[in-house]
């Protein structure tokens, strides 16, 4: 269903890791947009979407390859402004009669452009003659322009870093305005949508809520929906949103995997059953998960096993939800964009597979339930904004993210009940200290990891031989990149002392100072 009350911008995706950031920047400036894979944009669909402008996003291919992806020709004849970014610029240039070259002078990361001419997009942001920072990621570059284009800016590696055909309102940039490392990128995109395309910028999170509720009602009809609660913000917001749309057609299922943090199950059950009055099945499947994971060390296999078991339990619970001829037809999930982007390869959408996050990667092909994923396009902080919009308790909204596979991916190597118990105790102490120090809200995610390594220690004159506990705390805005949190040494010392004194089985504590990239937030 297309939303008709707002101006639309269409973003065609050629497989870049950062395409969603374009959508995010547009949403931040109040513009409704949709991302479609380039090969799913047929003429009829584009016309009925009625975009006020089209953005051609980046991608990993080279336009010089045979069968390289191209934009539908209609994009250039529809009479609306077009903004090509990186690969999008290159395919636009090639399709309109210019040339692209593969050169030695590849540019990755920070670069600078010299502004040579004025344009509607740079207006009020970059002055002619200025030298401005951008973020580049390209091998090929534009070598000659199609008729009607002029150069707006150049960089050392890209003579046509920014080009414009003012008459047709076609623009192209070699750099990525959507990433924060292009400091004025959001303003450039805003100039495109607001000034060039004429979008009014009246789209808000309240609109998102209303539109998603309409969408959910249209998709579901009078069918029943089940929603898995994980205890985290994503599934909780999903459940409350869906409950608002369809009321008691929704039943929540809380699968207790036995891999949750201490006290978490009780909190979830209390909030949903007692506070929201949402029908809830609390299924204790901890023994099943533990025996399914026996002997498994590989993180990807762990995720697949957990994902598979999850779905099995869901199928069984959905049978309980069914009455007579009306079984549950839909499964709602709190999948977010970072889960999607890191799980799907280019053939099906954007980006290389890094980790198969279980809520997208583990679904079997023969699953009987259809998926509803109303937050598939959102980043974490946007989900929190939606939760606030829905009036959810602040304490729940501010909760650190917790991964679907739970403590299983915080115990590298084989998982045992004993290790889970040890990790829970350490994690509780760590988070208690973080809250006491008033640091919880400054941190994106903090957790303990139990390493499959034993080291020698000495306690009360006796030799110990116990596990190492690693502490992780990161700052982030979207989970895509992250930096370690710079705790004071005194704080770390206090946590370490408490963990070693209070948790039997741990005799050494280390702090992880890896950022993402090159690390990931979780250890597995």
- Is 376 a binding residue for ligand XMP by CB under 6 A? The answer is no
Among positions 253-312, residues that touch ligand XMP (CB under 6 A) are: 303
Residue 142 contacts residue 89 (beta carbons within 8 Å): yes
CB of 412: closest distance to ligand XMP in angstroms? 13
- From the number of C-beta atoms within 10 Å of its C-beta (0-12, 13-18, 19+), residue 503 rates as buried
Q: 357 an active-site residue?
A: no
Residue 234 contacts residue 401 (beta carbons within 8 Å): yes
Catalytic residue among 8, 33, 86, 187: 86
Strand duo 506-511 + 328-332: pairing: unpaired
CB of 415: closest distance to ligand XMP in angstroms? 15
Q: Which stretch in 30-38, 240-248, 464-472, 516-524 sits in contact with ligand XMP by CB under 6 A? A: 516-524
CB of 440: closest distance to ligand XMP in angstroms? 15
Interface characters, 480-509, with ligand XMP (x: CB under 6 A): ------------------------------
Catalytic residue among 6, 8, 169, 178: 178
Question: Which residue's entry shows tokens 């902080």?
Answer: 381
Q: H helices within 326-454, ranges in order? A: 337-341, 358-361, 380-389, 394-397, 417-436
CB of 516: closest distance to ligand XMP in angstroms? 5
Give 260's contacts (C-beta < 8 A, 6+ positions apart): 231, 406, 407
Q: How many CB atoms lie within 10 A of CB 198?
A: 12
Handedness of CA 448, 451, 457, 462 (dihedral sign): positive
- Cα–Cα distance measured from residue 520 to residue 481, given in angstroms and rounded to the nearest whole number: 8
- Phi, psi (5° rounding) for residue 204? -135, 175
Catalytic residue among 176, 243, 357, 358: 176
The token duo for 122 is: 């740079």
Q: 34 an active-site residue?
A: no
- Is 445 a binding residue for ligand XMP by CB under 6 A? The answer is yes
CB of 20: closest distance to ligand XMP in angstroms? 14
What is the distance between the terminal CA atoms of the chain, rounded to a whole angstrom? 38
Residue with Cβ nearer ligand XMP (199 or 383): 383
Q: 86 an active-site residue?
A: yes
Q: Which stretch in 59-67, 107-115, 353-361, 411-419 sits in contact with ligand XMP by CB under 6 A? A: 353-361
Residue with Cβ nearer ligand XMP (282 or 516): 516
Interface characters, 330-349, with ligand XMP (x: CB under 6 A): --------x---x-------
Residue with Cβ nearer ligand XMP (246 or 344): 344
CB of 303: closest distance to ligand XMP in angstroms? 5
Residue from 355, 376, 388, 454 binding ligand XMP (CB under 6 A): 355
- Cα–Cα distance measured from residue 305 to residue 293, given in angstroms and rounded to the nearest whole number: 7
The token duo for 231 is: 């205890």
CB of 131: closest distance to ligand XMP in angstroms? 35
- Cα–Cα distance measured from residue 515 to residue 147, given in angstroms and rounded to the nearest whole number: 45
Q: Which stretch in 74-82, 214-222, 460-468, 513-521 sits in contact with ligand XMP by CB under 6 A? A: 513-521
Q: Contacts with ligand XMP: how many residues (CB under 6 A)?
A: 17
Give 116's contacts (C-beta < 8 A, 6+ positions apart): 128, 151, 152, 153, 154
Among positions 381-440, residues that touch ligand XMP (CB under 6 A) are: 401, 403-405
Residue 132 contacts residue 173 (beta carbons within 8 Å): no
Among positions 103-162, residues that touch ligand XMP (CB under 6 A) are: none
Q: H helices within 96-204, ranges in order? A: 185-190
Question: Which residue's entry shows tokens 């959102």?
Answer: 378
Residue with Cβ nearer ligand XMP (209 or 357): 357
Positions annotated as catalytic residues are: 86, 176, 178
Which positions touch ligand XMP (CB under 6 A)? 303, 338, 342, 355, 357-359, 401, 403-405, 445, 479, 516, 520-522
């Amino acid at each position: 269903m297309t939303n008709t009350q707002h101006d639309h911008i269409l973003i065609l995706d050629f497989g870049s890791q950062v395409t969603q950031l374009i959508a995010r920047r547009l949403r931040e400036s109040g513009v409704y947009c949709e991302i479609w894979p380039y090969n799913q944009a047929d003429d009829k669909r584009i016309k009925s979407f009625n975009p006020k402008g089209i953005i051609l996003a980046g991608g990993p291919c080279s336009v010089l390859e045979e069968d390289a992806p191209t934009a539908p020709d209609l994009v250039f004849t529809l009479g609306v402004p077009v903004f090509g970014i990186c690969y999008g610029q290159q395919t636009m240039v090639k399709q309109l009669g210019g040339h692209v070259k593969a050169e030695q002078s590849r540019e990755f990361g920070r670069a600078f452009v010299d502004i040579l001419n004025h344009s509607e997009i740079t207006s009020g942001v970059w002055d002619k003659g200025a030298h401005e920072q951008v973020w580049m990621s390209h091998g090929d570059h534009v070598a000659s322009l199609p008729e009607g284009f002029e150069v707006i800016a150049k960089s050392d590696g890209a003579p046509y870093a920014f080009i414009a055909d003012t008459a047709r309102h076609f623009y192209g940039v070699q750099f990525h305005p959507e990433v924060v490392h292009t400091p004025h990128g959001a303003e450039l995109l805003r100039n495109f949508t607001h000034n060039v395309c004429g979008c009014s910028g009246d789209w808000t999170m309240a609109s998102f809520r209303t539109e998603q509720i309409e969408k959910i009602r249209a998709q579901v009809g009078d069918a029943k929906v089940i929603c898995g609660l994980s205890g985290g913000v994503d599934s909780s917001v999903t459940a409350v949103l869906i409950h608002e749309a369809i009321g008691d057609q929704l039943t929540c299922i809380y699968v207790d995997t036995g891999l949750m943090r201490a006290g978490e199950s009780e909190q979830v059950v209390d909030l949903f059953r007692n506070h929201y009055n949402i029908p809830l099945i609390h299924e204790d499947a901890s023994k099943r998960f533990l025996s399914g994971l026996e002997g498994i060390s590989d993180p990807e296999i762990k995720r697949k096993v957990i994902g598979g078991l999850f779905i099995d339990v869901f199928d069984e619970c959905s049978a309980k939800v069914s009455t007579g001829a009306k079984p549950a037809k839909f499964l709602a999930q709190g999948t977010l964009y970072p889960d999607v982007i890191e799980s799907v390869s280019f053939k099906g959408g954007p980006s290389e597979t890094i980790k198969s996050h279980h809520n997208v990667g583990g679904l079997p092909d023969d699953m009987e339930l259809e998926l509803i994923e109303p937050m598939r396009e959102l980043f974490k902080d946007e989900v929190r904004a939606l939760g606030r919009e829905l009036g959810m308790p602040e304490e729940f909204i501010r909760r650190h993210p917790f991964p679907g596979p739970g403590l299983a991916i915080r115990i590298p190597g084989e998982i045992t009940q004993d290790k889970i118990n040890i990790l829970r105790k350490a994690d509780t102490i760590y988070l208690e200290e973080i809250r006491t120090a008033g640091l919880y809200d400054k941190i994106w995610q903090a957790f303990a990891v139990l390493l499959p390594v034993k080291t020698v220690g000495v306690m009360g004159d006796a030799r110990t031989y116990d596990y190492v506990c690693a502490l992780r705390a990161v700052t982030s805005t979207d989970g895509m990149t992250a930096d370690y949190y710079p705790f004071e040494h005194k704080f770390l010392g206090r946590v370490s002392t408490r963990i070693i004194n209070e948790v039997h089985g741990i005799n050494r504590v280390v702090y992880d100072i890896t950022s993402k990239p090159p690390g990931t937030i979780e250890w597995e």
